[in-house]
Chain A
């Protein structure tokens, strides 16, 4: 029987690929019995969402160096 280490690996993999039926059942049965792995499953899905949010943050916000560059440009144009 698979233990938590392998089960959590399968959960991770299952977030992107469709797992073989045997593995899907193993994960399901294990989760019914194991609160810690249930927490991991919940949290890894949560992290996926959060990591994607970061992606949006990066696209919609300027990085410090981008801001600096803009300020430099503004200053230069002010002294022209």
Chain B
């Protein structure tokens, strides 16, 4: 129905519209342009599966919307408390798991089907994604095998702060492995 040549035309026809749309969602022209570019790249890849049930403009906008949602989700995770990515923080569900990010699978149960080397490799990669400070603290706890009290003194942390950091690092590591292994 449509092909890659069409996508090229759609730049002329719809890019301005998409930019206006993106600008209403994020107030950063540079970032918005990046999204428009990504949107067309995705469109090029997906055009063969686009059946024309909606107009090209609607289809392109839906791709763009997904990119913007992802962007905000990632930003929010980084900006706000890590714990609020994993647990509800108000209402009647307060403190219970947010199901999309919960341990619905046990990564320990994958232990047998993944080689020891791969496990360590993946864990390294996941460790790299931790915020710098919690990486340092995890390093002190596990690599240097220091006790909590010692680390608290070195990093000038209260005991409860220390455990909050370890707790969050574990949530992030676990979730990172779950995404890789399931």
Contacts and interface: CB of A to CB of B under 8 A. Distances in A.
Interface of A: 2-6, 8-9, 12-13, 16-17, 36-37, 39-40, 42-48, 50-55, 57-58
Contacts of A44: 170, 174
Task: Report which residue of A5, A17, A37 has the largest number of chain B beta carbons within 10 angstroms of its beta carbon.
Answer: A5
A47 B124 CA distance: 12
Contact of A47 (B83, B95, B97, B173): B173
27 contacts: A3-B95, A4-B87, A4-B97, A5-B86, A9-B163, A9-B164, A12-B163, A13-B163, A16-B148, A17-B148, A36-B104, A39-B104, A40-B174, A42-B106, A42-B108, A43-B108, A43-B177, A46-B107, A47-B170, A47-B174, A47-B177, A48-B142, A51-B123, A51-B143, A54-B142, A55-B143, A55-B145
B120 A50 contact: yes
B119 A50 contact: yes
Contacts of B145: 52, 55
A37 B171 CA distance: 11
B105 A8 contact: no
B63 interface: no
Contacts of A36: 97, 102-104
B138 interface: yes
Interface residues of B, number: 36
Nearest to B94: A3
B167 interface: yes
Given A3-B94, A16-B148, A51-B138, A43 B123 contact: no
Contacts of A4: 87, 95-97
A30 to B, nearest CB: 11
A2 B169 CA distance: 21
A-B pairs with lowest CB-CB distance, top 7: A3-B95, A46-B108, A39-B103, A51-B142, A5-B87, A39-B106, A5-B95
Contacts of A8: 167, 171
B85 to A, nearest CB: 11
